[in-house]
Amino acid sequence: MKSVTVLITDWCPHCKRAIDWIDEVKQENPKYKDIKVEIIDEEKYPAIAKQYDYYYVPTYYVEKRKIFEGGTTKDIVRKVFEEAIKTDI
């Protein structure tokens, strides 16, 4: 299982919803419960955020691969989690 990184800002309404949806999706589906999600506030941790290539928040990465950037939905969170649980063959 791969880890998920989400870049956010604390003033972004889409980011706040994304964080809520992350929790909801994990509660709704047990197969996602063990996914490690790291949330990085770009304003509090700019040195870490600069290591990623993105423009909009929230931005989702699985490992170091960008999966989605910008306004989000609960379905997008599910798609990100599906990428995280995929096994590489």
User: With a threshold of 0.75, does the pTM exceed it?
Assistant: yes
**67 three-state secondary structure:** strand
Q: Where are the domains of the chain?
A: 4-85
Alpha-carbon 14 to chain mean position:
12
Computed over its alpha carbons, how large is the radius of gyration of the chain?
12
Read off the pLDDT of residues 16-50 as tens digits, 9 standing for 90 and up.
999 999 999 999 999 999 999 999 999 999 999 99
Please give the CATH number for the structural domain made up of 4-85.
3.40.30.10
Read off the pLDDT of residues 69-84 as tens digits, 9 standing for 90 and up.
998 999 999 999 999 9
